[in-house]
């Protein structure tokens, strides 16, 4: 049985594409009030006060220019508007 180089490369590419990625496309998952500067993106998953949350632009926790990690229970999300492939969420009452 002969395999061409192209067939092997295509098979490896398909396997790589099918491998599951972690949350945030393998970027670190922030823990705490502030998301990671120059790394976290809007709508990335984060953890705050023992809860799952999202990194969103919000000045409520003193994160300066960094995104703020807001718990899911404190977010209002619009499923009709996607941001980075996820529903756009903002802090409730913001």
> What is the C-alpha to C-alpha distance for residues 54 and 92, in angstroms, rounded to an integer?
13
Give tens-digit pLDDT for 12-63. 766 666 666 678 888 999 999 999 999 999 999 999 999 999 999 998 888 9
Q: Is the dihedral of CA 88, 89, 93, 94 positive or negative?
A: negative
Q: Where are the alpha helices (DSSP H) in 1-94?
A: 5-18
Please give the residue that has the higher pLDDT: either 12 or 64. 64
What pLDDT does residue 60 have? Answer: 87
Token pair recorded at residue 80:
């009709």
What residue segments make up the domains of the chain, in order of their start?
Answer: 23-91
pTM of the complete model: 0.74
């Amino acid at each position: 049985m002969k395999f061409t180089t192209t067939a092997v490369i295509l098979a490896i590419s398909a396997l790589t594409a099918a491998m599951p990625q972690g949350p945030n496309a393998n970027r670190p998952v922030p823990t705490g009030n502030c998301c990671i500067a120059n790394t976290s993106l809007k709508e990335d998953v984060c953890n705050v006060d023992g809860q799952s949350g999202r990194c969103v632009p919000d000045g409520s926790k003193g994160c300066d220019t960094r995104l703020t990690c807001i718990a899911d229970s404190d977010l209002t999300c619009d499923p009709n508007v996607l941001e980075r492939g996820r529903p756009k969420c903002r802090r409730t009452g913001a």
